[in-house]
Amino acid sequence: MIEPKTYFPMVVVDKMNTPFTIKLAVTDNDPVVKQILQTTTKLIEEDLEKIERKFSMDNQDSMINQYRRGNDSAVASDPMFKEVFGQCSQAKNFTNGYFNAFNDGKFDPSELLKGWAIERLFQLHLKPLLIAPNIIGVSFGDDKDIQMASKADSNFHWNIGINDPNKENAKLAEYRIDNGAISTTKIKNNVKQLSKQSKALQQVSVITTSLTKANAWSFVGVKTDTNTFKKLINNSGLTGLMIDSSSVLTAFTQGKIFYDYDKKIS
């Protein structure tokens, strides 16, 4: 039996200083699908603008800056703010305190905000589209953080590549994901400085069902030393890839680290 051709209509939305990609997998890119994509894009743009207004660290009148100045009453009744605060609290709990949005003494959800925003808008605006006959897959994210899903009765899956942190346009690995999320965090330090830190990781990718959770874990990976993160991988049953300061790539699946998979990649 010949599989039907799959088309991938997409739109890039520039918000929150990030080019977000809204992508569909469809069996027929007809006018109905194009209208659905157009309508969905508008809804996502509007919600991203709301998120940006409330959580902009650059805007002194934003909700997050009001809260950081001690104006609790300004945010106490805002559902979105309370949700982000709650997600950060949960992330601190499930990472055993290694993710902490209060590191500077004031609430700063920046490291989790993008992953949370992607997952929230994906669940709200994209996943419900799988009920449409021609739509077999939906995806939303950027080049590091993606939430995706496939229609239950289809054979479709998303092929997601992980970039080499040291080589432009080079892939380290590719995963086939039906439903789930992947988050990749690259250390912000200079690679030459990183090479002196034998226990550091320069890039971590984590795959799980929730992008908010994957985002928190990938951030923790590059903020802790290699041995600590290996313990967290085992204790929390994590899946993904990590690259250490010597550019050695190691895979881990459901908490098991495959040492025989270790290889120098650059």
Whether the CB-CB separation of 121 and 47 falls below 8 Å is answered with yes
DSSP H helices, the chain, are 31-55, 63-68, 79-94, 110-121, 191-194, 211-223, 226-236
Say what the pLDDT of residue 193 is: 45
- Find the length of the chain: 266
pLDDT in tens, the chain (266 residues): 456 799 999 999 999 999 999 999 999 999 999 999 999 999 999 999 999 999 999 999 899 999 998 888 767 789 999 999 999 999 999 999 999 999 878 999 999 999 999 999 999 999 999 999 999 999 999 999 999 999 998 999 999 999 998 888 889 899 999 999 999 999 875 544 444 455 789 999 999 999 999 999 999 999 999 999 999 999 999 999 999 988 889 999 999 998 655 555 44
DSSP H helices, 147-242, are 191-194, 211-223, 226-236
Say what the pLDDT of residue 179 is: 97
DSSP H/E element including 163: strand 158-163
Say what the pLDDT of residue 200 is: 87
Whether the CB-CB separation of 221 and 257 falls below 8 Å is answered with no
DSSP H/E element including 13: strand 10-15
Task: Mention every residue, 6+ apart, whose C-beta is less than 8 A from residue 188.
Answer: none
CA-CA distance, 172 to 266, in Å (whole number)?
10
Say what the pLDDT of residue 261 is: 53
Could you give the C-alpha distances from 232 to 94, 175, 244, 247, in angstroms and in order?
10, 22, 16, 21
Can you tell me whether residue 91 is helix, strand or coil?
Answer: helix
Domain boundaries, given as residue ranges, for the chain: 1-156, 178-266
Task: Mention every residue, 6+ apart, whose C-beta is less than 8 A from residue 234.
Answer: 255, 256, 257
Tokens standing for 190? 């200079």
Tokens standing for 127? 């996943």
Indicate the DSSP class of residue 4: P
CA-CA distance, 70 to 251, in Å (whole number)?
44
* AA identity, residue 204: V
Task: For domain 1-156, give the fold.
Answer: T-fold (3.10.520)
First to last CA, the chain: 42
CA-CA distance, 28 to 94, in Å (whole number)?
42
Could you give the C-alpha distances from 225 to 18, 163, 247, in angstroms and in order?
28, 21, 15
